[in-house]
Amino acid sequence: MPETRSMANGNGAAMRPTDNQKNKEEEENVFLFYPNLIVPLGASRVVLAFVSLYYMPIHPRTCTVLYSVSCLLDALDGYAARYFEQSTKFGAVLDMVTDRCTTTCLMVFLASAFPRYSIVFQALISLDLASHYMHMYATLSMGNGASHKKVDESRSKLLKLYYSDQRVLFTLCLMNELFFIALYLLSFSSPRLSPTLLQDPQSPSSLVAGSPAAPDPSKMFPSPWSAGAMEMARANKMDDRFPWVIFWISLPFMALKQFINGVQLVKASKWLAEGDIAERKRQGLPRKRDAKKVQ
């Protein structure tokens, strides 16, 4: 008869390990949690984002669809994390990093599409990255490893509302992305913002809105991703009425989102500074030295 391992209880009686005890001994693989799987696999957020970047200079409709679906998956992985009770620090950081990367890539394109306003997009990128990095670092280091979404109301009622109410968070993030998507579409459709799209009726080779570019871009530019081919793709314009509607609807939400980023940056900086002051006091800094009087 094969020998079986047993454990002794407090009375010395032998007990076999239960299935629950065996399961507890098995380590969980955080990388295989459902929310984290939504991000890197298959028809997922990161893959869709990269494919949208591939089409960004040459095919605005395809890019917009792929980029929008990628952004919507942001809400899906958060819902999955809460539903399956698999919220992790890795997932939170991965989610924020993905958000920052995709939005930054879009604004980099907008800076090249609207060079006159490139400094505005550079400022928005800097504010977005700095505020979220400072906020996450402050909450992890000063909040005993707490999630960046757990904001104490005493520090900021606005940030508390922003991170604790899923409706507010989703609406502002969605409208913020829609604003930049609308700008992206307008770079392909609005002569008001892109003077190179203006039609010259005196030129027989003018590029007419809504009609294929002439001559065929493939004959002029062998590489479809060249700067010239991008201009030809932009000349093959679409109706700009819908992007303008989205632009004006989302504008106030985008402005509020940027204001929250500014508040987030200031509050995180102050929180870290408070921690520095407390740490210096704990170390007895600055050290008081007896000043020698010079006779």
Bigger pLDDT: 151 vs 228: 151
Assess if residue 242 is contained within a domain.
yes
pLDDT tens string 248-295? 999 999 999 999 999 999 999 999 999 999 889 999 888 876 555 545
Assess if residue 130 is contained within a domain.
yes
Assess if residue 24 is contained within a domain.
no
| Tokens describing residue 282 | 């704990």
Does the structure show a pLDDT above 80 at 85?
A: no
Assess if residue 59 is contained within a domain.
yes
Helix axes 241-282, 118-142, angle to 10 degrees: 40
Domain span including residue 58: 29-195+209-273
Assess if residue 235 is contained within a domain.
yes
pLDDT score, position 65? 92
Bigger pLDDT: 124 vs 241: 124
Residue 106, domain CATH: 1.20.120
Assess if residue 233 is contained within a domain.
yes
Between CA 295 and CA 80 the distance in angstroms is 75
Assess if residue 96 is contained within a domain.
yes
Total domains in the fold of the chain:
1
The Cα-based distances of 251 to 138, 174, 177, 248 in angstroms read: 29, 12, 10, 5
Q: Of 74, 77, 95, 99, which residue is the catalytic one?
A: 99
| Catalytic (active site) residue 290 | no
pLDDT tens string 181-238? 999 999 888 777 776 665 443 444 444 444 444 445 455 445 555 555 565 565 555 7
pLDDT tens string 88-138? 677 677 778 888 999 999 999 999 989 899 999 999 999 999 999 999 889
